[in-house]
Amino acid sequence: MANQPDLVYTIRVYTSKPFGEIRVQVQNHTGRNLEVQSLRSVDALGNVILDLHANPGADRVLSDSFSEDWPPLQIYDLGKAPNGLHLAVGSQTIYNRHSKESVFFGALSADRLLTILHLQTKPQPNGPTISAFTVDCAGTTEIMATNEESGVREGPKENIV
């Protein structure tokens, strides 16, 4: 579109390597300043979000954190995340104990924004499943608002998400 910035997604997959790459860029050719608040590189919804070739109830999740000491890194069973949400900053690994397969999502680089991963689960009669998975590049507001030690919760209401 004329006079609009371009949002460019590049997806690379390799036949001989067990990994891929997603790159998101905003290309501003408008001659005007542009403010980017967030970019979503992954938005996965549906019945089967991730298939590690075994029961998802055997999945374990390691979510990296924003700070070196908060929250403490902990490996959770898929269905045992606080409020059903595995929240990560920078990277997240999902490993299935039965199939011995895993998947790693991580930021190789970042310029100005954090990479925030949301793995949402839901209970099912046969065990927990993944109901949604998103990867966003965004500012620090969400992470700082969930950190009890940050003081953001006591700030002005307009600054609290």
Is residue 5 domain-resident?
no
Is residue 17 domain-resident?
no
Domain count, the chain: 1
Is residue 60 domain-resident?
yes
**Tens-place pLDDT, residues 29-64:** 898 998 888 899 999 988 899 999 999 999 999 999
Is residue 24 domain-resident?
no
CA distance 70 to 157: 24
- pTM value? 0.81
Is residue 47 domain-resident?
yes
Backbone angles phi, psi at 137, to 5 degrees: -105, 120
Asked if residue 143 lies in contact with residue 116, where contact means CB atoms within 8 angstroms, the answer is yes
CA distance 61 to 103: 10
**Tens-place pLDDT, residues 112-150:** 788 999 999 999 999 999 999 999 988 776 666 665 554
CA distance 124 to 84: 12
Asked if residue 73 lies in contact with residue 90, where contact means CB atoms within 8 angstroms, the answer is no
Tokens linked to 29: 């050719």
**Tens-place pLDDT, residues 69-103:** 666 788 999 999 989 999 999 999 999 999 999 99
Is residue 9 domain-resident?
no
Backbone angles phi, psi at 41, to 5 degrees: -95, -25
Q: What is the pLDDT of residue 93?
A: 97
Is residue 51 domain-resident?
yes
Structural domain containing residue 72: 38-159
Is residue 20 domain-resident?
no
- Give the Å distances, CA to CA, from 72 to 57, 84, 101: 23, 17, 25
